[in-house]
A = this chain, B = another copy of it.
Amino acid sequence: MPDWVDGHPAESLSIKDRGLAYGDGLFETIAVRAGRPPLLEYHMARLSEGCRRLGIPLDFQLMRTELLAFTAGLGEGVAKLIITRGEGLRGYAPPPVALPRRILQSAPFPSYPEGNWEQGVQLFSCATRLAEQPLLAGLKHLNRLEQVLARAEWQGSEYAEGLMRDQSGRVIEGVFSNLFMARDGVLITADLCRSGVAGVMRAALLDGAGAAGIQVEVRDISFDEFLSADEVFLCNSLFGIWPVRSVTGHHWPVGPLTRKLQAIARDLLDI
Contact = CB atoms under 8 A, between A and B. Distances in A.
Given A15-B10, A94-B152, A23 B145 contact: yes
A151 B23 contact: no
Interface in A129-180: 129, 131-133, 135-136, 141-152, 167, 175-176
A220 interface: no
Contact of A133 (B107, B146, B176): B146
Contact of A94 (B20, B93, B136, B148): B148
Given A12-B14, A128-B135, A143-B144, A152 B110 contact: no
A90 B149 CA distance: 15
Contact of A13 (B3, B13, B22): B13
Given A92-B144, A92-B150, A17 B20 contact: yes
A19 interface: yes
Contacts of A92: 144, 147-148, 150-151, 175-176
Contact of A152 (B14, B78, B93, B143): B93
Given A15-B82, A91-B151, 8 more contacts: A10-B15, A22-B145, A54-B148, A90-B110, A91-B110, A93-B151, A129-B133, A131-B136
14 contacts: A10-B15, A11-B16, A15-B105, A16-B105, A18-B148, A22-B23, A22-B143, A22-B144, A23-B143, A92-B151, A93-B152, A129-B133, A132-B132, A143-B145
Interface of A: 3, 5, 10-24, 27, 54-55, 78, 82, 84, 90-94, 103, 105, 107, 110, 128-129, 131-133, 135-136, 141-152, 167, 175-176
